[in-house]
Structure 1
Amino acid sequence: MVAAVAVLAGAVGGCGTGEKARREAEMAALVKQVEDLKKGQAQLGQEVGRLSGELKALDAQAAFLVGETKAQAQERDQLKSALQQQDTALRSLRSALDETNQKVAALAVPAPAPTRPTAPTSKDSSPEKLYATAMTSFRADEHGQAVLEFTELIDKFPRHPLASSAQYWIGEAYYRQRDFNQALVEFQKVPDLYPQSQTVPEALLKVGMCYRALHDVPHARETWEQVVRAHPKSDAATQARALLASLGPAGRNPR
């Protein structure tokens, strides 16, 4: 975050005093919005972990009973519903955080000098525009088109801060299409190609989910344990702990 603010401060340094003040105010507001979204995301992650733990406890209790009572079944359903709602809210927060990061990245592009006309440029070729277009396709469930657009961004701007996020969403597009083998390959590219990206914990979490979907429980467990060890304070680690708990002791497949 400090590095992002430093880049933004340098980008607006050449503008006039009034313009500089306005852009600095916009940046400050966006940075605060990012922090607020991260706090909300962390709280929801903790709630997801708590609900997952309660659900596992109820499952264990039910396993020792001859038959599951109607009250227990209802409570289990309520916990599952609450967990799904929290997961949906967490996804919404991630999407909002991603959009805010786009705005921050856009502010890093210096405005043209007002006294020197320049040749018109195509906005369609900017990384921010390509990213926004690809996200629009993704949210419209046009996953194949989104993959093409995210790939175009990476090909044209491989070192841009949005490249790692674009790679993550390529994996998510294949995951939504239930192509878990290809999704696993694409998610794994995030830590391989962008090891310093903040997207790495989420990508590794999804790598484990791909393994689980492919019925490779040992590799799923190994990947989630890696998330917890390498990124213990991340939201992805909170979810990884809940997923590990759902697997039960090592050596036993989940029910």
Structure 2
Amino acid sequence: TPPAAAAPATRLPAGTPKERYDFAFRLLAQADYPAAETAFKEFLAAHGSDPLAGNAQYWLGETYYVRQQFEPAAAAFLQGYQGYPKGPKASDSLLKLGMTLTAMKKTAEACAAYGQLAKEFPSAPANVKEALVRERAKANCR
């Protein structure tokens, strides 16, 4: 399908979903968080069912988290976990949701997210498991 002519504000170049994802990720890597936010949103709007969509959703959350925009970060991480529960970033999304909720002083909700992470992803990557232990302690989860 041809691109919509009425979208001059677009940040994503034409290309394959992978090329477009890589473009958005480069903006993130350059710490251009507002541009990366826009690019990941556009990627998700255009390629929401692509295998990279779960990763894009996670990195969208990161663009908010690093700017301490915790409400949209929490929403993005929750969407990443719920929308892509089998995706490679599902456990990371749940971890970051807990960290965001902790930053928002929503400790009970954060501890619930950490509990869900431990229950649902017993074979999560080592870095996620280590962060889970650290973050649970930081939030004083029981």
* Category of TM-score, reference length = shorter chain: 0.7 to 0.9
- Render the CA deviation track for 1:19-55: whole Å, top value 9, x for unaligned: xxxxxxxxxxxxxxxxxxxxxxxxxxxxxxxxxxxxx
Partner of 1:238: 130
What secondary structure is seen at the aligned counterpart in 2 of 1:125?
Answer: coil
Per-residue deviation, residues 94-117 of structure 1 (Å, max 9, x unmatched): xxxxxxxxxxxxxxxxxxxxxxxx
On the 8 A contact 1:228/1:241 being kept in 2, the answer is no
- TM-score with structure 1 length normalisation? 0.48
Percent pairwise identity? 25
Structure 1: tracts of 5 or more residues without a match:
1-122, 251-255
Aligned to 2:139: 247
Asked whether the equivalents of residues 201 and 237 of structure 1 are also in contact (C-alpha less than 8 Å), the reply is no
CA distance in 2, matches of 1:229, 1:215: 23
Correspondences of 1:119-130 after superposition (within 5 Å)? 124-130=14-20
**Structure 2: segments with no counterpart, 5+ residues:** 1-12
- Deviation track 1:137-193 (CA, whole Å, cap 9, x = no partner) reads 111111111111112211111211111101100000000110011100011111221
Asked if the contact 2:102–2:139 (Cα under 8 Å) also holds between the matched residues in 1, the reply is no
**Residues 201-236 of structure 1: per-residue CA shift (max 9 Å, x gap):** 000000000110001111111111111111122132
Looking at structure 2, the residues matched to 247 and 189 of structure 1 have their Cα atoms a distance apart, in angstroms, of 22
Counterpart pick for 2:103 among 213, 221, 245: 213
Query: Using the alignment, how far apart are the partners of 2:38 and 2:139 within structure 1?
Result: 35
Q: Any runs of at least 4 consecutive aligned residues in structure 1 with deviations exceeding 2 A, and if so which?
A: 245-250
> Contact 1:227–1:237 at 8 Å: present in 2 too?
no
Change in CA separation of 1:164 and 1:249 when aligned onto 2, cut-off 3 Å: closer
Which residue identity does 2:78 align to in structure 1? Q
Structure 1 vs Structure 2 CA RMSD: 1.5
Partner in structure 1 of residue 72 of structure 2 = 182
TM-score, structure 2 as length reference: 0.83
Q: Which structure: greater helix fraction?
A: 1
CA contact (8 A) 2:81 2:93 kept: yes
Mapped contact 2:57–2:80 kept (Cα < 8 A): yes
